[in-house]
Amino acid sequence: MLENDITERRNPQQDTNSAAEPEPIVEKRRKRRRRPSTKRQRIIAPGLWPKISVVAIILCLGLLGLSIFMLNRDITTAPVIQKISVSDIAQTSAIINWQTNEPATSEVTICNSDNCTSLKPDESLVTNHSATLTNIEPNTKYQLTVVSRDKQGKEARLALELVTPRKTAAVEIGTRIGDRAPDFTLPTIDGKEASLSQFRGKIVMINFWETSCSACASEMPDIQAVFDTWSRDDLEILAVNHGERAAFVQSFIDSKGLTFPALLDSDQSVSNMYQISTIPTTFFIDADGIIKRIKSGRFTSQLEIENILKSP
């Protein structure tokens, strides 16, 4: 019985001990269950950093691009006006030429003591600029302002002064040297019309010719060479055909490769007005419309023509 009692006493203690022992195991298991959450946090956190870095880089690049754009916008300068000149100054007209270092528009403001006017010969963006002043008064001082604007609207201005020549006595209209050349209007070979007066302000060379004239055919290459060499702002060549049919004239021009304007004087009215008795005959008319030289017969070279054009 004693043994049994001892056994019975020990059993509750063992039960107590056995019941108390599993608690550390439960705690260990709980700790193990918490570890996955820690690992997940460590896995997610490193994945966010590349995304944040990419966003930060994009923002930095955007700010850098905006800064460069604003910097370029601020440092853009206005065009520079250069090589300005005034040519063919007459009593009532003059030509202004200038250049810009970048494409820009063209504008000239003309002021005298009474009023100002503005001339816009070309509103497109170009680097070579030209403006022809007309209807100005003789013996008058003008203040000119040349204006050019680039595509961003930045503006350059350059002021200069122009004094027109004194008014001379009235010039008689006629066909002699020193006379004012008679005005006329004729159809061109391409179906348009041309008038002598529309070329006021530049030198005009009027050549009367025929397709059947061998001397005319011989000088045409020299006239074409002058036409190719000289600027249209300085010289205009009008080849007035003397009473021939348009088909003959067109065939001749095509065979010679001529590109200067050919006018059709079908009824010879202009030839009669200029009293043409010799073919070819050429009239040299200055920017004021005054006959400066008359050449009867053919030219022997391009140089001969240019020497006449350059003579005072």
DSSP sequence for 167-223 = P-PPPPBSSSTTSBPPP-EEEBTTS-EEEGGGGTTSEEEEEEE-TT-HHHHHHHHHH
Could you tell me the CATH number of the domain that includes residue 276? 3.40.30.10
Question: Is 32 part of any domain?
Answer: no
Please indicate, yes or no, whether residues 290 and 220 belong to a single structural domain of this protein: yes
- Of 163, 194, 214, which marks where a domain is finished? 163
Please indicate, yes or no, whether residues 146 and 220 belong to a single structural domain of this protein: no
- Of 130, 163, 196, which marks where a domain is finished? 163
Please indicate, yes or no, whether residues 158 and 189 belong to a single structural domain of this protein: no
As a whole number of angstroms, the distance between CA 274 and CA 267 comes to: 13
Show pLDDT as tens, one digit a residue, over the chain (312 residues): 444 444 445 555 454 444 445 555 444 455 455 555 544 545 445 555 566 666 667 766 666 665 655 555 445 688 999 888 887 777 678 888 899 999 999 999 999 888 888 888 778 899 999 888 887 888 888 898 999 999 888 999 999 888 888 776 678 999 999 999 999 999 999 989 999 999 988 999 999 999 999 999 999 999 999 999 999 999 999 999 999 999 999 999 999 999 999 999 999 999 999 999 999 999 999 999 999 999 999 999 999 999 999 988
At 68 the pLDDT is 56
What is the residue whose two structure tokens read 């290459």?
221
Please indicate, yes or no, whether residues 240 and 205 belong to a single structural domain of this protein: yes
At 122 the pLDDT is 72
Please indicate, yes or no, whether residues 227 and 298 belong to a single structural domain of this protein: yes
Question: Is 12 part of any domain?
Answer: no
Question: Is 54 part of any domain?
Answer: no
Please indicate, yes or no, whether residues 113 and 198 belong to a single structural domain of this protein: no
Q: Which of 263, 268, 211, 210 is nearest to 240 (CA)?
A: 263
Please indicate, yes or no, whether residues 199 and 264 belong to a single structural domain of this protein: yes
Question: Is 135 part of any domain?
Answer: yes
Q: Which of 277, 220, 215, 265 is nearest to 240 (CA)?
A: 265
How many structural domains are present in the chain?
2
What is the residue whose two structure tokens read 């250069």?
82
Question: Is 99 part of any domain?
Answer: yes
Instruction: Please state whether the predicted TM-score (pTM) of the whole model is above 0.85.
Output: no
Please indicate, yes or no, whether residues 283 and 198 belong to a single structural domain of this protein: yes
Question: Is 71 part of any domain?
Answer: no
Please indicate, yes or no, whether residues 108 and 158 belong to a single structural domain of this protein: yes
Please indicate, yes or no, whether residues 152 and 192 belong to a single structural domain of this protein: no
Please indicate, yes or no, whether residues 202 and 266 belong to a single structural domain of this protein: yes
Q: Which of 159, 264, 253 is nearest to 211 (CA)?
A: 253
Question: Is 128 part of any domain?
Answer: yes
Residues 6+ apart with CB under 8 A from 122: 105, 106, 129, 130
At 6 the pLDDT is 43
At 113 the pLDDT is 82
DSSP letter at 165 equals P
Question: How many CB atoms within 10 Å of residue 100?
Answer: 24
Residue 280 near residue 218 (C-beta atoms within 8 A)? no
Boundaries of domain holding 295 = 185-310
Could you tell me the CATH number of the domain that includes residue 86? 2.60.40.10
- Of 163, 197, 213, which marks where a domain is finished? 163
Residue 213 near residue 197 (C-beta atoms within 8 A)? no
Residues 6+ apart with CB under 8 A from 151: 103, 125
Question: Is 34 part of any domain?
Answer: no
Q: Give the CA-trace dihedral at 248, 251, 253, 255, to 10 degrees.
A: -140
At 24 the pLDDT is 52
Residues 6+ apart with CB under 8 A from 63: none
DSSP sequence for 6-63 = HHHHHHHHHHHHHHHTHHHHHHHHHHHHHHHHHHHHHHHHHHHHHHHHHHHHHHHHHH
Please indicate, yes or no, whether residues 209 and 267 belong to a single structural domain of this protein: yes
